[in-house]
Copies of this chain bind each other. A is one copy, B any other.
Amino acid sequence: MVTVKELAKMCDVSPSTVSNILNGKPNVSEKTRQRVWQAVKETGYQPNYYAANMRKQSTRTISIIAEDLGQFSTTPILEAAMACCEEHEYRTVIMNLRLYDKWRDTWYYDEKKLQSTLSPVLNEIQSIKVDGMIYVAGHGRVIKCFPENFHLPTVIAYATVENDRFPSIVLNDEKGGYDMIKYLTSMGHRRIGIIAGAADNTHTKERLLGCQRALFEEAIPYNPEWTVYGDWDKESGYRSAKKLASQKLTAIYCMNDLMAGGVYDYAREQGITIGKDLSLVGYDNRQIAEYLYPGITTNELPLKEIGIAAASKLISMLGSEEQETVHEMIRVDGKLIIRNSVAKLG
């Protein structure tokens, strides 16, 4: 591997001159500049990353930690954040915790497991001397296991952190739930069932709040019997639809598209036509929402926006002199996507 010293010898200049030229410093004659760049090209010189960073104070690098790249929400957030970092001329370093791959579903409520894989990664990014970190959670919740002595500028995407130690960017679930119910009522529905996610999940709770606000606005009393809790997968959508069958509902809000898929199965089995006999809205705007028939009206998650917001927030933190931690939670709105799963009543 050719070094600065060797380049210097080749060009009959000193190493510092070469270094200055390589780093675009002023005060070099055009002639030597060209000579050096010529030599760089000829030799295929690559600066030694480690030597360079050892000397530098700032690496101008942001680390993006993903809990789970396989989670559908992760990649859009990550890519948008990367794009934003690049625009501001920060390098990005991606770390993938592979939580799902390692622990299946069991890590969701087991912070010890998370901690055991997070801790070495945190050490690593600290020894890499990144300027800041964006933590992209695999599912929304309150994360409790960040070590007390961790003080890198950090923004959390798709979840929050205990005690609001770091700013976080999350879905506006309350508004999302509100929007879906409001859409159904605007189409004339008043007997509206809800297939919620897991009962203790933060998305579930927030969206339910939004649903209740919408119902209240429309002077529809909230009927707890019309809400059943699933666990986000297709099968649980099917089961939940069955549970709601006796309630004579005209519409159901399913808190994700996968469970809505289960409702389609149940409806087909019962000879019920979605979009006619029964109206249905989902959530997430997964690919299946477009492929099922009729297409599901749903809510597109603002994943790119979350990624951009997270990166922007972090970069602005890095830019400001005062490293005061702002306890801020930014909620980003989703977007109603109208397809054909809802009938207009009356």
A291 with B288, Cβ < 8 A, contacts A79-B101, A98-B82 known: yes
**Cross-chain contact B49 with A129 (CB below 8 angstroms):** yes
Tell me which residues from 125 to 155 in chain A have a Cβ below 8 Å from any Cβ of chain B: 126-129, 149
A124 within 8 A of B: yes
**Cross-chain contact B291 with A127 (CB below 8 angstroms):** no
Copies of this chain held together in the complex:
2
**Cross-chain contact A54 with B46 (CB below 8 angstroms):** no
A53 within 8 A of B: yes
**Of A27-35, A70-78, A190-198, which binds chain B?**
A70-78
Q: Mark A271-310, 1 if CB is under 8 A from B, else 0.
A: 0000000000000001110111100000000000000000
Distance in Å from the Cβ of A274 to the closest Cβ of chain B? 11
A44 within 8 A of B: yes
A69 within 8 A of B: yes
Which of A69, A93, A290, A293 has the largest number of chain B CB atoms within 10 A?
Answer: A69
Which label, helix, strand, loop or mixed, suits the secondary structure of the A interface? helix
Q: How far is the CA of A69 from the CA of B93 in the complex (A)?
A: 14
Number of interface residues of A (CB under 8 A): 42
Q: CB-CB < 8 A to A83: which residues of B?
A: 98, 101
Tell me which residues from 193 to 220 in chain A have a Cβ below 8 Å from any Cβ of chain B: none
A291 with B293, Cβ < 8 A, contacts A50-B129, A70-B76, A79-B69 known: no
Question: Which A residues have a C-beta under 8 Å from some C-beta of B?
Answer: 44, 46-51, 53-54, 69-70, 75-76, 78-79, 82-83, 93-96, 98, 101, 123-124, 126-129, 149, 234, 261, 264-265, 268, 286-288, 290-293
Residue contacts A-B, CB under 8 angstroms, 25 given:
A46-B123, A47-B127, A48-B54, A48-B129, A49-B50, A49-B124, A49-B128, A50-B50, A50-B54, A51-B54, A69-B75, A70-B75, A70-B76, A70-B79, A75-B75, A79-B98, A79-B101, A82-B98, A83-B98, A83-B101, A93-B93, A94-B95, A234-B290, A265-B293, A286-B287
